Amino acid sequence: MIAQFFVLSQRGDNIVFRDYRGEVSKGSAEIFFRKVKFWKEDEEEEAPPVFVELLQRIARVTKDYLGVLNEDSLRKNFVLVYELLDEVIDFGYPQTTSTEVLKSYVFNEPIVIDSARVPPLGPASMFMQGTKKMPGTAITKSVIVTEPGGRKREEIFVDIIEKISVTFSSSVNINMEQGYILTSEIDGTIQMKSYLTGSPEIRLALNEDLSIGRNSSSVYGENKPSLLAADYIVALFSLKLQIPPDGEFAAMNYRMTQEFKPPFRVNPLIEEAGQLKAEVIIKIHADFAPSVTANTITVQMPVPTYTARVSFELESGAVGQTADFKEGAKRLEWCLKKAGFSSMCFRFILFVLLFYKLYQFYNISILFVRIFISLRKMLQIVGGSEHTLRAKLTFSQESHGNIAREAGPINMNFTIPMYNASKLQVRYLHIAKKSPSYNPYRWVRYVTQSNSYVARL
Amino acid sequence: MAPPPAPPQKSPSPSQPSGKSEVSDLKLQLRQLAGSRAPGADDSKRDLFKRVISYMTVGIDVSAAFSEMVMCSATSDIVLKKMCYLYVGNYARCHPDLALLTINFLQKDCHDEDPMIRGLALRSLCSLRVPNLVEYLVAPLGAGLKDGSSYVRMVAAVGVLKLHHISAATCLDSDFPAVLKSLMLTDPDAQVVANCLFVLQEIWNLEANKSEEAARERETLLSKKIVYYLLNRIKEFNEWAQCLVLELVAKYIPSDTDDIFDIMNLLEDRLQHANGAVVLATIKVFLHLTMSMTDVHQQVYERIKAPLLTLVGSGSSEQSYAVLSHLHLLVMRAPMLFSSDYKHFYCQFSDPSYVKKLKLEMLTAIANESNTYEIVTELCEYAGNVDVPIARESIRAVGKIALQQYDVNAIVDRLLQFLEMEKDYVTAETLVLVKDLLRKYPQWSHDCIAVVGNISSKNVQEPKAKAALIWMLGEYSQDMPDAPYILESLIENWDEENAAEVRLHLLTAAMKCFFKRPPETQKALGAALAAGLADSHQDVHDRALFYHRLLQYDVSVAEHVVNPPKQAVSVFADTQSSEIKDRIFDEFNSLSVVYQKPYMFTDKEHREPFEFSEEIGNLSLGQESVGNAPRYDESDKDLLLSTSEREENGGPSTNGPAASGYSAPTDYNSSLVSLSSQTQSETAISDPGMPKYTSQMTLAIDDLLGLSLNPKAALDPGTFQRKWGQLAVSISQDCSVSPQGVAALTTPQALIRHMQTSSIQCIARGQSPNFKFFFFAQKLDGPPSFFLVECLVNTSSAKAQVKIKADDATASEVFFGLFQSALSKFGVL
């Protein structure tokens, strides 16, 4: 049972506070704030997963209603949140957490917060399914708000989100390739968010060569590149025919441990250069199609604790790259950002130039195109490009023995939109038509994120 | 906190409610609006209500505005109504007289046309928590349970529980449980059924110890009929209700194997549910059902592996942790089944350290011949980790795997490589491990000692590691040429050594070294003994004194005592006994698994006898301590006497001075009438039962001839639980229970009271059909010595199993006699 439900701000004051059973003493919220811990009441055994899941579900439902879930939106809409909480839990027992069912009990209009200037949730983001959500561009629309234009826009969003974990080994394997893949895993989810009225049926078709389970050895052995073998699939609804609930829900979770081509190859090198010096070279190679562009990449590498100074050498002409030595954490950080404003301007000028000169100086324009392409490669992390960072470390004391053992491993964080490592694909998304003119918007997106992308030294 | 229109309350912290002026201001505005019918009045009311509720949330007491709020509540605006209900629910308890004002409009709303308003009003009515107003609840509740709308029935079902909490008698007198029961079995709406179920569970749980009927009713919830009924409808329930039903099914005792397979087939697809809570609840059902069928049980493990592993990867790290803890439990129970999945337990960079720690433990457990190499290679990578606690943990894991006897050769090499890494904490952890390794595999001493000998003791600072190094120096001083000199330099810095543990080891190592290489060590040993004798730490002082006298008595005897030929350790004492693991397993899908501690004392009601006894114990503490004072003196004298005696004898005693020195002085003036001559005869029987205890022990046994128990013994559950975990079972015996005994057990309270008259206190008991009792008793005299008893009575087979654990194992036979006689007097045996 749940005796109390409260949401605290980072400073520890109540944003929302609901007492369901009147059994817990008054200062509970403050005690919780001071020593966050599971309550172990001496009455009955409770299943911890129930509560973690329930908290997440409440967060999700609240987000469905408020559009954005953060401190500001909670504060502005606390009456609506109370309405929700009253229906979700009664006397400590969860009742319903379906966004759709709850709709008939909620009467407050949400005050929508401009999502562009919202600060992140901070530690409370744990309730939003880890980082599985789409970063940045996630839909921030309440399920009960009508568009200013009057009619509600009929649309459905399907996100295929994959988190990949890869560990590259430091040693050499049998085939003499260095940095071979030690472990690789994909945790994927198909996330849907429906704003369709009248709950129409939806048909979602995936690749035909999808096979589930590893029981047939041939599947695993043949190593067909197109063959998709998921270890295990958890489906909320049968995929063939489903009526999506309102709001956000996970249609399917899957996990793959079959080998796949990792999007980035990482080649780190650390070498001693004299008694108090060492050199680090990190090379990353984007191993995907040129049409795909990765968003911000950060590469982190712990260096020996006695490192005093680091000087960096970025590749010539690199735009949007920064490298930094975090002295406190003894860590190198290398950031590769998407093309910034200045480079965009530059590109625009190029376009204009191209347009004018195209038929006059055909040869020159070809040259421009070449320049343009190479520039794009340099500015962005497009498929096929390669980037290198050189860093010179200066130590405060002599290193004893193996530097490689005291540095690393290298960790990479990235997001690649419109790319998925598992090759799982939505072939079509069919919505049962109510009338010939009914043609709701369908959005299908793919995102690959790094979960743990590690190269050992 | 507050919405923007009210900026002044941004500053006060929740603990210091202020803003009296704001509240009176609000009162005034509300009063003005109360009668207003002007257009827009509702909007301004909404704003005001919002402000009131935001004050309430922050913790400012706005109960002063109660009557104004009620006055404003006559409205058709549902948003306003809801806010008003929320307010009233919060403050009615502190203002019971004012709450009466709300009854009228709530009752009126209970008859509204809109089922939503009816439901809301009923919920608020039941949430008032004012005992005087109970009479107004019964009629609306009765109507609500028969309402045409499922929403109202849902609310009414929970309302019954709320009523029970305010006034149990009213609830039972109105016969609501019976109505709920029929509703549960017939209602078309699944959520109504689920609400009825938990309400009935809670009510009957609370009533069970007051009336037998309720206890019987509670049992019927677990009957085949009801369980099957709920299982057949399981897909209609929402996920939370499913968890509730599954929890119930896990307690169900199936009649035969068909029953088991039926249930499992029915629930099979629940394992694919996206909600981790449902999956875990299902797994619990599967595991409990198949407990008695070994082969099927194993198949269940195979079946649940994939869902669990997917769950671990799919949620946030908090969810993963909850699931991993359960996986951890399963892995510990059946490591073999998971040995091929070891890669899933590799730590990921992004894992928080609490997840990593669990994973490391699992990797340790599943290591076997086939995967040790890979696992150890992976663990070695973590040893250089930036996260120091995890690095330490992984080194320890490598050591533990080595102690499991797989591929020791390669692991020893790895461990020795750690020593070359020259990181302080790595060296420290490794030294401790190498020590343990050598105790188990002395044949590796040669390789290890060569490397350990190169370590400068100056680089080792942690007491544990230092102690390990010193132990090795002493144990293998014949193989390390400079061992005496290292020890000597350590002894020179005696005063700078803060940890007593290190000083103790230093003494012993100096002794061992002395026996092997006397001329080189003599001086160092002398210095060590002198320093030890002057040491302020009692143990160090005593050990130095002991060695000193041993050496004075006979050097060869001393060598025999301090440095006898050792046998390699085969199994290190496990920190957690398998018994505790079993207990945790019984509590699958609960916090016990996450805490890795069993939870013994489940029901509050059963703790009452304990709370009672604690009270008594506290009350009598004062007088008792006065009475006890001279006795302690006596025992002090006794202690002195026995040590001085030993000095005269000067004989070797490996047990140290503690064993007989602290034995309790005899005290026969037992105040207990219930202890009859039977005790004496019991003791007589027990004597031949322990021939293994030699003369040293006879003194202790003499003391126990008149074992008398403290009638006011007190022990808190935490201590009990700890003790139960620490102590070994000294007696475990099965006995049969007479039919009258089974009948008598239907009222366990009587048994508990009876046992109390024999100075045996009940600290907790479990549910039928397997009655489980935990008793404890304390020896009346001497140092506090407890007896802990677990008594499991199976009524169907008429067997009782008694397990006794005792601080003083020698006395447990006698105590068992006492315990038996007490039971037989009650007619159980």
Choose among B456, B481, B554, B474: nearest CA to B514.
B474
Q: Is the pLDDT of residue B501 over 80?
A: yes
Q: How far is B589 from chain A (nearest CA, A)?
A: 5
3-state helix, strand, coil in chain B (%, to 5): 70, 5, 25
Q: Which residue's entry shows tokens 């960096």?
A: A312
The residue among B209, B232, B248 that closes a domain is B248
Taking an 8 Å cut-off on Cβ atoms, the answer to whether B243 and A167 are in contact is: no
Q: Which residues of A touch B763 (CB under 8 A)?
A: none
pLDDT score recorded for residue B541: 92
- For chain B, the average pLDDT equals 76
Q: State the residue range of the domain holding B763.
A: 690-826
> To 10 degrees, what angle do helices B608-649 and B748-757 make?
30
Instruction: Determine contact, residues A244/A196, Cβ cutoff 8 Å.
Output: yes
Q: How far is CA B802 from CA B735, B756, B789, B815, in A?
A: 8, 17, 7, 12
Q: What is the pLDDT of residues B540-579, one digit of tens each?
A: 999 999 999 999 988 888 888 888 887 777 666 655 567 7
Cβ contact, residue pair B421, A52, below 8 Å: no
Is B307 within 8 Å of A90 when comparing Cβ atoms? no
Instruction: Judge whether B743 lies within some domain.
Output: yes
Is some CB atom of chain A closer than 8 A to the CB atom of B94?
Answer: no
Nearest CA distance, B156 vs chain A (angstrom): 11
Residues A336/A363, Cβ–Cβ less than 8 Å:
no
**Chain B: residue whose CA lies nearest to A234:** B272
Q: What is the pLDDT of residues B580-612, one digit of tens each?
A: 777 777 777 777 777 777 765 433 333 333 333
Per-residue model confidence (pLDDT) at position B737: 72
Percent of chain B with pLDDT over 90: 10
Q: Report if residue B758 sits inside a domain.
A: yes
Q: Find chain A residues with C-beta within 8 A of B244's C-beta.
A: 93
Which residue is listed with tokens 């890869």?
A166
| Residue from A102, A185, A405 whose CB has the most chain B CBs within 10 Å, to mutate | A405
Inter-chain Cβ pairs, chain A and chain B, closer than 8 A: 206
Q: Which residue has the tokens 């939503």?
A: B116
B776 in a domain, yes or no?
Answer: yes
Bridge partners for A307 per DSSP = A395
Given a cut of 80, whether residue A102 has pLDDT beyond it is yes
Compute how many other C-beta atoms are within 10 angstroms of the C-beta atom of residue B388. Answer: 13
Q: Which of A17, A97, A456 has the CB atom closest to B381's CB atom?
A: A456
User: The domain spanning residue B747 has which CATH number?
Assistant: 3.30.310.10
* ipTM of this complex: 0.71
Specify the range with the lowest mean pLDDT, choosing from A217-221, B369-373, B505-509, B816-820: A217-221
Chain B residues with CB-CB distance to A54 below 8 A: 240, 277
> In chain A, what residues touch B18 (CB-CB under 8 Å)?
none
Beta-carbon separation of B349 and A453 below 8 A: yes
Q: Which among B123, B591, B716 is the top mutation candidate for probing chain A, defined by the most A β-carbons within 10 Å of its own β-carbon?
A: B591
Q: Which of A4, A43, A8, A46 is nearest to A25 (CA)?
A: A4
Task: Give a yes or no: residue B347 inside a domain.
Answer: no
> Which of B206, B221, B248 is where one domain is finished?
B248
Strand-pair category, A247-256 with A264-272: unpaired
**Residue B276 to residue A53, Cβ atoms within 8 A:** yes
Q: Do B53 and A94 touch (CB under 8 A)?
A: no
Contacts of B128 (CB under 8 A, 6+ apart): B88, B89, B92, B93, B99, B102
Cβ–Cβ below 8 Å for B422 and A90: no
Residues in chain A closer than 8 A to B327 (CB atoms): none
* Within a domain: B304: no
Q: Tell if the CB–CB gap between A79 and B53 is shorter than 8 Å.
A: yes
Residue B787 is assigned to a structural domain of this protein: yes
> A165-169, B184-188, B193-197: lowest mean pLDDT where?
A165-169
pLDDT, mean of residues B98-123? 86
DSSP B179-235: HHHHHHHH-S-HHHHHHHHHHHHHHHHHHTTT-HHHHHHHHHTTSHHHHHHHHHTGG
Q: What is the tally of structural domains in chain B? A: 2
Instruction: Convert the pLDDT of each residue in B6-58 to its tens digit.
Output: 333 433 444 444 556 777 888 888 777 776 666 677 778 888 888 888 888 88
Amino acid at B672: L
pLDDT value of position B319: 81
Using the 3D structure, point to which of B248, B269, B289 is the last residue of a domain. Answer: B248
Lowest mean pLDDT among A158-172, B175-189, B321-335, B403-417: B403-417
**Chain-chain contact of A183 with B343 (C-beta, under 8 angstroms):** yes
Task: Report pLDDT digits (tens) over A379-410.
Answer: 557 777 888 888 888 888 876 667 777 777 88
- The pLDDT of A110-135, averaged and rounded, is 49
Q: Which residues in chain B are contacts of A79 at CB distance < 8 A?
A: 50, 53, 79, 82-83
Q: Do the chains contact at A13 and B13, CB–CB below 8 Å?
A: yes
Place A424 in a pLDDT band, splitting at 50, 70 and 90.
Answer: confident
Domain CATH code at residue B112: 1.25.10.10
The stretch B97-102 carries a mean pLDDT of: 79
Q: Which residues of B75-104 are buried (b: 16+ CB within 10 A; e: fewer)?
A: eebbbbbbbbbbbbbbbbbebeebbbbbbe
pTM to 2 decimals? 0.69
Per-residue confidence (pLDDT) for residue B646, from 0 to 100? 38
A129 to chain B, closest Cα gap in Å: 5
Q: What number of helices (H) and strands (E) belong to chain A?
A: 9, 24
Q: If contacts are CB pairs under 8 Å, which of residues 272-291 in chain B contact chain A? A: 272-277, 280-281
| B701-729 pLDDT tens trace | 444 445 677 777 777 777 777 777 777 77
Tell me which chain B residue has its CA closest to the CA of residue A409: B385
What chain B residue is nearest to A329 in terms of C-alpha separation?
Answer: B386
Average pLDDT over every residue of A68-83: 84
pLDDT in tens, A310-335: 888 887 766 678 888 888 878 888 88
Contact A255 B314 (CB under 8 A): yes
Q: Is B323 in Cβ contact with A253 (below 8 Å)?
A: no
pLDDT digits (tens, 9 = 90+) for B126-152: 888 888 888 888 999 999 999 999 999
How confident is the model over A147-162, as a mean pLDDT?
71
- Hey, are the CB atoms on A53 and B86 less than 8 Å from each other? no
Determine, yes or no, domain membership for B55: yes
pLDDT in tens, B214-259: 888 888 888 889 999 999 998 888 888 999 999 899 888 888 888 8
- The answer to whether residue B491 is domain-embedded is no
Contact B204, B177 (CB under 8 A): yes
Q: Do A96 and B384 touch (CB under 8 A)?
A: no
Q: Are B380 and B397 in contact (CB under 8 A)?
A: no
Question: Which DSSP string do the residues of B407-429 spell out, in sequence order?
Answer: SHHHHHHHHHHHHHH--HHHHHH
Average pLDDT, integer, range A288-311: 84
Q: Which residue of B has its CA nearest to A304?
A: B386
Phi/psi for A294 (5° steps) reads -85, 145
Tokens linked to B764: 């907790």
Q: Note whether A405 contacts B162, CB cutoff 8 Å.
A: no
Residue A203 pLDDT > 50, yes or no?
yes
